Structure 1
Amino acid sequence: MEEEPAGRDSRIIPTSKKNLLAQTLLQWSKAGVVPHGAIQKAATQFGVSRKTAQRIWAEAKLQIQSGVPVNIRGRVKGYEHKDKFQLDAAKVRELSVLERSNIRKLAYKLDVSKSTVANGMLKYHPMHNVVHIDEKWFYMTKTSERPHFAENGEVIFDGKIGIFPFTTMEPAKRKSKNRPRGTMETKPIQSVNKEVMRACLIEKIIPAIKAKWPHNVSKEIFIQQDNAKPHIHHNDADFLAVASTDGFKFHIRCQPPQSPDCNVLDLGYFRAIQSLQDDKVAKGVDELLRNVHSSFDELSPYTLNKVFLTLQGCLTEILKVQGCNGYKTPHMNKERLTRMRTLPQALEVEEGVVKAAVAYLQLPEHDVSTNYDISGVTAAVGF
């Protein structure tokens, strides 16, 4: 039974539908101009009048010309509590890990009550502007702003930025039956140090993000890495020199040390791409690189979307075990939810789970220090 399209007699159009309509027209447009018939096609697809679709597109073009991300807001606003306090996320990010290691310290630094800090954090951020980076060794023998989808399921952004090999070209030192001496060969870089990582981030990863990033989403991007020694610091001078260029604003953030693994690459992405690569035979480094690249290309954006939901599920489990590594990866029947078209973009967290984690963070420091590292719980709460 087909789903009945939204009627045109509804006077209030959800903000989400307006933005999806605008995003669809953006995908169809070239240099800010949509092809003939596109407005009517979008109006029919989203169940609105042609005049409404024209108005939404006109508003989107004005935002594009102003150099801001497209965000169509509804005209009708519901009742809002005037006394509801929203934490300033920018101020929170400016604090050091120690300054926000528990509720009491964070409340003191923000000059608010502890209860104020604890309230209003019951849903994870969709993570559409978070890029996870990490290294992965692939062997010839067996031993990644998250995808964006339109309302009709069309892939707007596949969530894959690129895959960059740590290799170098060197002339062959000896002659063999396969090639003469001096032939340029691909060799793996044996030591991936800070200089190598900095060059990869600045010369490859950031340009690739700029080239593939959707035009209609926030250009403030958080690059998440673990605390491995080769990774650069957030205040690295060379990184800061390119962090705010071409309208983008890049930030580097690290997982708290000794905390549970909260990197989607380790949680599912590397596992998925390794399984694809294992099915291909490689007789040399060049062939291995081709296999890994083709495996990267074959990886479905729907798989990546599910991995990000797995990450949010893991964050909830981390809250339940007070930042410990002893938790099981949750299963939420994502395949069934996908078939039912009810797969969420972000998971909600039970209020009781958050309150229990907040109560744990409020324990005296000398008690907390004898337990598992709490920074993972702090990160999961959303500070």
Structure 2
Amino acid sequence: MACHLSVSKTIIHNWIKQDKLRPHTNAIKPALTELNKLARLKWCLTQLQPSITQGKVQFHGMHNIVHIDEKWFYMTKTSDRYYLLPDEDEPYRSCKSKRYITKVMFMCVVSMPQFDSEGQPTYDGKVGIFPFTESVPAQNKSKNRDRGTLETKPIKALNKEVVRGCIIHKIIPAIKAKWPDWASKEIYIQQDNATPHITAKDPEFQGYTVMQHEKPCRNMDELVENICKAYEELTPQTLNRVFLSLQACLTQILQFREDNSYKVPHMNKDRLERTGDYPMC
């Protein structure tokens, strides 16, 4: 920009500080067909309560919806920043190829946290986080371990059957174990993919309706431990903010006629929390 405007970079920086220029990071969004937009609109409408309270239509509490989503976590980044003492040695990191940094996929499961009249959490909403890893015997001997020692390795063939097995054998038992006794037993599992990992007709899925952390790690076990610890550090208040943002986005979708060109609204949650006006979903 400085080159095209024939000015220095310092001037560009000053213009930004003076609000004469506004930096903007633009992310590519998925293209939506008319059928996609219609499906989004129908789903948003199902989340609305049929009654009007204080002149407004409220969303359902979403207390019986469990959201599952997967995410890749990498052992390290190709480039990282360190702050060293003047005489401290620079860290040396290496791998066979930058294109093949070790990574593992986790399935995260959360639901709406619930609070009592004093704002104290009665259910934190965290069902669990599950890594797609397996223990395999080492093929060769090294200075770190003997041949045959069990090592934690990421599952390479992440197909539909592997994900289905995680849902049936890990996620559903975790929901049953952690779900509050006083909560609704009509539970919906909201999957992220357009094509669900598992369908409601699956015989082992009856009763359920389909709907890094920056800590250093040197091996797969430490990566899994760091991710799980970061998940445990997630507070119910932070998770509640996520669901508030979800409902705000649903409102924007309805106002923008199912399109995804809307901006995520800023609710100034910090101020609402300080003044005691912070809504609990």
TM-score (structure 2 length as normaliser):
0.67
> Which residue in 1 is equivalent to 2:209?
251
State the secondary structure of the residue aligned to 1:135.
Answer: strand
Q: Is the 8 A contact 2:115 2:280 kept in 1?
A: no
Q: Does the residue aligned with 1:303 lie in a helix, a strand or coil?
A: helix
CA drift of 1:101 comes to: 5.8
Partner AA of 1:211 in structure 2:
A
SS of the residue aligned with 2:71? coil
Q: TM-score, normalised by structure 1?
A: 0.50
2:124 alignment partner in structure 1? 158
Look up the SS of the partner of 1:136 in the other structure. Answer: strand
Structure number with the bigger relative contact order (C-alpha 8 A, sep ≥ 6) is 2
| Corresponding residue of 2:113 | 147
Q: Which residue identity is paired with 1:175?
A: K
> Residue 279 of structure 2: which of 344, 361, 366 is its match?
344
Structure 2 counterpart of 1:129 = 64
Q: CA RMSD in A?
A: 2.5
In the other structure, the counterpart of 1:360 is none
Dislocated runs of 4+, deviation >6 Å: none
Question: 2:246 aligned to 311, 322, 339, which one?
Answer: 311
Instruction: Find out whether 1:176 has 2:142 as its counterpart.
Output: yes
1:217-274 deviation line (CA, Å, top 9, x unaligned):
111111000235571122222212xx2xxxxxx2111xxxxxxxxxxxxxxxxxxxx3
Aligned equivalent of 1:189 = 155
Q: Residue type matched to 1:127 in 2?
A: M
Correspondence for 2:192: 226
Identity of aligned pairs, percent? 54
Find the aligned partners of 2:220 and 2:197 in 1 and give their Cα distance: 25
| Secondary structure of the corresponding residue to residue 153 of structure 1 | coil
Question: Could you list the runs of 5+ residues in structure 2 that have no partner in the other structure?
Answer: 1-34, 42-47, 79-109
Q: CA deviation at 1:214?
A: 1.1
Deviation at 1:120, TM superposition (A): 4.3
Higher relative helix content: 1
SS of aligned partner of 2:130: coil
Shift of 1:197: 1.4
For 2:258 and 2:142, the matched residues in 1 are separated by 55
Cα deviations by residue, 1:327-357 (Å, 9 ceiling, x for unpaired) = 11111011111122211234xxxxxxxxxxx
CA distance in 2, matches of 1:228, 1:286: 32
Mapped to 2, the partners of 1:237 and 1:119 lie a distance apart of: 33
Q: Deviations over 1:50-107 (max 9, x none)?
A: xxxxxxxxxxxxxxxxxxxxxxxxxxxxxxxxxxxxxxxxxxxxxxx99x9699xxxx
Could you tell me which runs of 5 or more consecutive residues in structure 1 were left unpaired when the two chains were aligned.
Answer: 1-96, 104-116, 244-249, 254-273, 347-383
Counterpart residue number, 1:167: 133
